Structure 1
């Protein structure tokens, strides 16, 4: 029922600052879309080995690329949260398109499912980078006086600011 109240906002989901940080409005769609995603992976014979490959790839990327991407963004746009989020949004859309093309090629049997296993974690990684920017930057700035995780986030932020003073 909640989703119907926001149907007019869905076309502007990726560009509207009013709905962009608060994705909870789409929560009724999570379970059905997860089911469709699992069915889509079943169509290309995504095996347990492919799932393990995807999880290992996501883990390796999260350990290496996630902190690096966060620090680079803080260096390039230290005072512009909107620029950071817009950049990540377009980066996520681009990698999601690459993953979708990889999936379609695997569905048409032109590509092995192993490539899909390596392509799927990349959009997930940039979702994690987006989440780190939203959690840490918005929480420490006190965006509209709303802190997510006081004092843990502020402690991590001050520690990061001490290590990378820019």
Structure 2
């Protein structure tokens, strides 16, 4: 979903005192609003959340879970903003490298591991990778208490985490964009027109 949200929340709780000094009133309001949207979305989806991963209709899940993805992403960046400000070039470099290079590389590697490309197997693999990164991050935090302030280690963790959902959606675009889940097309109408008639990526 949004794998950077949990580390951002942990860092936010750990460093909550500094936000009152750094954040303006508007940024505080934005952060609180994001958490409010996340909370009411979870409550609204609670009845069907458990079955969502088993329904083919939710596979292009960026549609249905965008009320969670968007506020989780925004709030995570806001919570990490004190760190990003101190090392903007480093965070930008590792994030860009992860998105451009690591995302397709992970898809290619999974193709060799599973002798083919399967979104179900790939998502299971990525969940395992996210859990492994969380464990490595926890272990690193125990060994090095100020890992959050590191100029390389934590930005690399961040870059890898954001590359995982990007690679999943990238795989959906490449291999499943032609499919019709429950009878409706994968793309929203405008995007479907652009990719079908301009970029010719579908069909």
Classify the TM-score, shorter chain: 0.5 to 0.7
In the superposition, the TM-score normalised over structure 2's length comes to 0.55
Superposed CA RMSD in Å reads 3.7
Q: 1:120 aligns with which of 131, 150, 158?
A: 158
Structure 1, gaps ≥5 residues long: 159-166
Structure 2, gaps ≥5 residues long: 1-39
Q: For residues 26 and 3 of structure 1, do their structure 2 counterparts lie closer, same or farther at Cα, with a shift above 3 Å needed?
A: farther
How many residues matched?
152
149-158 vs 132-141, which deviates more?
149-158
Q: Quick check: 1:63 aligned with 2:108?
A: no
* Residues 95 and 160 in structure 2, CA contact (< 8 A), matched pair in contact too: yes
1:36-115 to structure 2, matched below 5 A, reads 38-39=78-79, 41=80, 46-75=83-112, 76-78=114-116, 80-99=118-137, 102=140, 108-109=145-146, 112-114=149-151, 115=153
Deviation at residue 130 of structure 1 after TM alignment: 0.9
In the alignment, the residues of structure 2 paired with residue 153 and residue 143 of structure 1 have an alpha-carbon distance, to the nearest angstrom, of: 23
In the superposition, the TM-score normalised over structure 1's length comes to 0.64
Which residue number corresponds to residue 67 of structure 2?
A: 27
In the alignment, the residues of structure 1 paired with residue 198 and residue 179 of structure 2 have an alpha-carbon distance, to the nearest angstrom, of: 11
Q: For residues 113 and 16 of structure 1, do their structure 2 counterparts lie closer, same or farther at Cα, with a shift above 3 Å needed?
A: same
112-121 vs 71-80, which deviates more?
71-80
Q: For residues 7 and 92 of structure 1, do their structure 2 counterparts lie closer, same or farther at Cα, with a shift above 3 Å needed?
A: same
Q: Say which structure, 1 or 2, has more relative contact order (CA 8 Å, 6+ apart).
A: 2
Q: Quick check: 1:147 aligned with 2:192?
A: no
* Residues 99 and 120 in structure 1, CA contact (< 8 A), matched pair in contact too: no
Deviation at residue 120 of structure 1 after TM alignment: 0.9
Which residue number corresponds to residue 161 of structure 1?
A: none
